[in-house]
Structure 1
Amino acid sequence: MEATTKSQIEDLIKSKKVFLFMKGTPEMPQCGFSAGVVTVLKNLKIDFGSFNVLSDMKVREGIKEFANWPTIPQLYINGEFVGGHDITVQMASSGELQKMVS
């Protein structure tokens, strides 16, 4: 991964306490898994930043390498990789997600 792509990803993650790399935008998700994570965050009234990986192929591929996680969406809290759709839904159900954010 290019150093510029890596620093762009790091800057994005640091820009908000909760940050989501997703396909599409929160207003118009372009995959069911991205939509699912957005729904969880909105239902819990969690403020989050996001990046549409479909708008930048370098970030789309770079984020997979960055997190060593092959799929998107990817959720970060306090700069740490949390997981994708299934993990986010599971953590929200158990209340763990809300604890991490508060």
Structure 2
Amino acid sequence: MSDVNTRIGDIVNSNDVVLFMKGTPLFPQCGFSSRAVAILDHLGVAYESVDVLQDMEIRQSIKTYSDWPTIPQLYVKGEFVGGSDIMMEMYEAGELKQLMTQSGVASAA
């Protein structure tokens, strides 16, 4: 279990923005992941994605790592932000864009 937590920690801490999701940004496998991708794409930020369907250890362990029961999960600068509902609320309030700007997140190339 700790090996998986180390892997997750390495992913989270080595990327400014990470989305743990079902599927890929080009082919999301659930509506919530699709919404999360759409929000990040609309913000125009560079982000890394992890397809939890390809790694069952990560799929189970990410929920414990964040103490959050659902996927997708968004991390910015190593900090857990939330799932797609929280992302949508923050996006609509302008808070997600503000968080990205204040965190110095790079724009997508």
1:86 maps to a residue whose letter is D
Aligned to 1:67: 66
Distance of 1:49 and 1:14 partners within structure 2 = 11
Aligned to 2:79: 80
Runs of 4+ in 1 over 2 A off after TM superposition: none
Aligned to 1:47: 46
Distance of 1:84 and 1:76 partners within structure 2 = 10
User: Secondary structure in 1 aligned to 2:24?
Assistant: coil
- After TM superposition, give the deviation of residue 95 of structure 1 in Å: 0.9
Between the aligned residues of both structures, percent identity stands at 48
Give the gaps of 5 or more residues in structure 1: none
RMSD: 0.6
Aligned to 2:89: 90
Would you say the 8 A contact 1:15–1:49 is kept in 2? Answer: no
Distance of 1:33 and 1:4 partners within structure 2 = 28
Aligned to 1:5: 4
Equivalenced residue count is 101
Aligned to 2:99: 100
- After TM superposition, give the deviation of residue 89 of structure 1 in Å: 0.6
2:78 maps to a residue whose letter is G
- After TM superposition, give the deviation of residue 15 of structure 1 in Å: 2.3
Give the gaps of 5 or more residues in structure 2: 102-109
TM-score calculated relative to the size of structure 2:
0.90
